[in-house]
């Protein structure tokens, strides 16, 4: 790919070239940087899981996990996030086939599942607070709200990112840059799915079984 610049003083154009190799190198740098970000996010969630492991039974005379958690609702919420991960996979298949419309349709479905997940999570938080189970009530509830809330914030950011990419794909199509961005969001989305499986198993299931 060539571009032109104007020589100072002469006004004559000078052509220079940006090679495809340089563009590919930039793409690799983006993916490497995103993997580094995901590893830093792993450390954040590892710290939050460790905190919950230490404080998860400190009820301070308040309600326990078995008294508060409603597994059917949490299971439905989990299904929303798992389905969103599957639909994002379909979007990536459409992207690989360079089908813009199909890619956008599956991204919209993914966003709707993600929004449903956030809705159920906020509904759960509102119910707990209405019962007096606020983060200030006990160390257990503080660590619970922090861990689950941090994951919810990440999903919300993912939805905003997804909407932004929908606009970019709609305007510019499946360019190499947009494909790379979609791949980064795919890694982020599936990462949140894996983290939630850990939350569901470690926080909710073990909490009810204790």
Q: Is position 27 within any domain?
A: no
User: Nearest-CA neighbor of 88 among 109, 66, 72?
Assistant: 109
Helices (H), ranges, 13-136: 20-55, 65-68, 71-96, 100-130
Q: How much is the mean pLDDT over the chain?
A: 89
Q: Write down the residue that tokens 């709707």 correspond to.
A: 112
First to last CA, the chain: 63
Q: Where does the pLDDT of residue 82 fall: very low under 50, low under 70, confident under 90, or very high at 90 and above?
A: very high
Position 28 scores a pLDDT of: 72
Average pLDDT over residues 65-79: 94
Share of the chain above pLDDT 90, in %: 82
Indicate whether 209 pLDDT > 90.
no
Indicate whether 84 pLDDT > 70.
yes
Indicate whether 106 pLDDT > 80.
yes
pLDDT digit string, tens, across residues 19-52 = 544 444 556 778 888 999 999 999 999 999 999 9
Average pLDDT over residues 133-152: 97
Q: Is position 22 within any domain?
A: no
Please state, in angstroms and rounded to a whole number, the distance separating the CA atoms of residues 189 and 104.
16
Please state, in angstroms and rounded to a whole number, the distance separating the CA atoms of residues 155 and 140.
23
Q: Is position 10 within any domain?
A: no
Q: Residue 131 is part of a domain; what is its CATH number?
A: 1.20.120.80
Computed from CA positions of residues 92, 79, 118, 199, in that sequence, does the dihedral angle turn out positive or negative? negative
Q: What is the pTM of this model?
A: 0.85
Position 208 scores a pLDDT of: 87
Q: Where does the pLDDT of residue 94 fall: very low under 50, low under 70, confident under 90, or very high at 90 and above?
A: very high
Position 9 scores a pLDDT of: 54
Position 154 scores a pLDDT of: 98
Q: Is position 17 within any domain?
A: no
pLDDT digit string, tens, across residues 189-203 = 999 999 999 999 999
Average pLDDT over residues 87-101: 97
Expressed as residue numbers, the domain containing 182 is 38-209
3-state secondary structure of 110: helix
Position 11 scores a pLDDT of: 55
Q: Is position 4 within any domain?
A: no
Indicate whether 177 pLDDT > 70.
yes
Q: Is position 19 within any domain?
A: no
Q: Is position 199 within any domain?
A: yes
Position 29 scores a pLDDT of: 78
Position 210 scores a pLDDT of: 72
> Cβ(103)–Cβ(91) under 8 Å?
yes
Q: Is position 110 within any domain?
A: yes
User: Number of structural domains, the chain?
Assistant: 1
């Amino acid at each position: 790919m060539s571009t032109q610049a104007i020589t100072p003083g002469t006004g004559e154009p000078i052509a220079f070239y940006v090679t495809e190799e340089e563009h590919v190198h930039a793409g690799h740098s983006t993916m490497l940087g995103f993997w580094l970000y995901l590893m830093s996010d792993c450390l954040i969630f590892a710290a939050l899981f460790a905190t919950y492991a230490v404080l998860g039974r400190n009820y301070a005379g308040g309600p326990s996990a078995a008294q508060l958690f409603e597994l059917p609702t949490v299971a439905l919420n989990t299904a929303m996030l798992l389905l969103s991960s599957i639909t994002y996979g379909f979007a990536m298949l459409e992207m690989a086939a360079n089908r813009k419309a199909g890619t956008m349709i599956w991204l919209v479905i993914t966003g709707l599942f993600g929004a449903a997940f956030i809705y159920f999570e906020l509904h759960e938080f509102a119910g707990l607070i209405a019962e007096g189970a606020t983060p200030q009530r006990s160390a257990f509830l503080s660590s619970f709200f922090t861990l689950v809330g941090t994951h919810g914030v990440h999903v919300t950011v993912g939805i905003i990112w997804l909407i932004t990419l929908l606009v970019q794909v709609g305007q510019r199509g499946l360019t190499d840059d947009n494909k790379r961005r979609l791949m980064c969001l795919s890694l982020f989305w599936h990462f949140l799915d894996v983290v939630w499986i850990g939350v569901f198993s470690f926080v909710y299931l073990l909490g009810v079984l204790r």
